[in-house]
Chain A
Amino acid sequence: QKEVEQDPGPLSVPEGAIVSLNCTYSNSAFQYFMWYRQYSRKGPELLMYTYSSGNKEDGRFTAQVDKSSKYISLFIRDSQPSDSATYLCAMYPRSGTYKYIFGTGTRLKVLA
C-alpha cells in the first residue's frame, strides 16, 4: 500500500463548476501538506501549503486537512479551462527528512 493515495482521474467538469480533489495517507507523521499543479510538459508548481489540520484559502483555491481521518482536499471554485492540469498532493513529516512524498496526481479537465 502506498503512503499517499490519490485518484488518478481523469476528472472532467464544466467551466464554473466546483472541483474537489482528494488524497488519503497512512503515515501519521506527516505534518505538512501541499498541493502542486502540473501543466503538460512542465514541472509541478506549488499551489497551496498547509501545516497540520485546518483550512487555508487563496483566491479560488481552498485546501483542507483532516489529520484525524488522514485525508486532505483541494477545492477549486469557479473552475476555468486554464485550471486544466494534473494536481499532485505532497506530504512531509515533522522535520529533518528532506523527503517529500507525492501522490500520483489527478488529471483535471475543465470544459469551456
Chain B
Amino acid sequence: KAGVTQTPRYLIKTRGQQVTLSCSPISGHRSVSWYQQTPGQGLQFLFEYFSETQRNKGNFPGRFSGRQFSNSRSEMNVSTLELGDSALYLCASSFAGGATDTQYFGPGTRLTVL
C-alpha cells in the first residue's frame, strides 16, 4: 500500500511569489491535514479537510489556503510569500480524522523563501 506522497519535495521561491503544494493521501483515506514545521515553533496545524470540506483551521493568515478534490487529493496554496514562510510543510491522511484515527504523514515539502 502506497504511503502519503507530497510534491514537490523541495521548492525555492522569492518573496511575493505564490506557491502550490500537493498531497496525495493513502488510498481510502478521506481526511487530509496540513502542518507547518519550523525549528522554533515545531509542528503547527494549518487546516484539515474531509470530503472536500474544511473542518478546522489553525491560526495562520489568509495567505494560506487549501482545498481537497473529490479523489481526496489536497493542495495548499501560499500567496505573497514572506521569508518567515520558509518551513517544512507536511500533510497527513487518515480514514476519517479524529483522535482515534491514526494519521500517516508524508515526507513533506521543504519550502525556502529568499
Please list the residues of chain A having a beta carbon within 8 angstroms of any beta carbon in chain B.
6, 31-32, 41-46, 49, 51, 88, 90, 92, 95, 97-105
B33 near A100 (CB under 8 angstroms)? yes
A44 near B105 (CB under 8 angstroms)? yes
Per the bound structure, the CA–CA distance linking A90 and B90 in Å amounts to 15
Tell me which of B62-70, B76-84, B92-100 binds A.
B92-100
- Chain B: interface size category: 20 to 34
B31 near A98 (CB under 8 angstroms)? yes
Q: Which residue of A lies closest to B105 (CB)?
A: A43
Mark contacts of B26-68 with chain A using CB atoms, 8 A cut-off: 1 yes-contact digit, 0 otherwise.
0000010101000011111100101000011010000000000
Query: Within the complex, what minimum Cβ distance (angstroms) separates B35 from chain A?
Result: 8
Between A and B, 10 residue pairs with Cβ closer than 8 Å are A43-B4, A45-B104, A49-B102, A90-B43, A95-B98, A98-B48, A100-B45, A101-B45, A102-B45, A103-B42
Please list the residues of chain B having a beta carbon within 8 angstroms of any beta carbon in chain A.
4, 31, 33, 35, 40-45, 48, 50, 55-56, 58, 90, 92, 97-100, 102-108
Q: Which residue of B lies closest to A46 (CB)?
A: B102
Per the bound structure, the CA–CA distance linking A105 and B40 in Å amounts to 10
Q: Which residue of B lies closest to A102 (CB)?
A: B43
Query: Within the complex, what minimum Cβ distance (angstroms) separates A26 from chain B?
Result: 15
* Contact for B103 among A6, A31, A46, A105, CB less than 8 A: A46
A41 near B103 (CB under 8 angstroms)? no
Q: Please give, as numbers and ranges, the residues of chain B lying within 8 Å of A105 by CB-CB distance.
A: 42-43
A95 near B106 (CB under 8 angstroms)? no
Q: Please give, as numbers and ranges, the residues of chain A lying within 8 Å of B31 by CB-CB distance.
A: 98
Q: Please give, as numbers and ranges, the residues of chain B lying within 8 Å of A100 by CB-CB distance.
A: 33, 45, 103
A99 near B92 (CB under 8 angstroms)? no
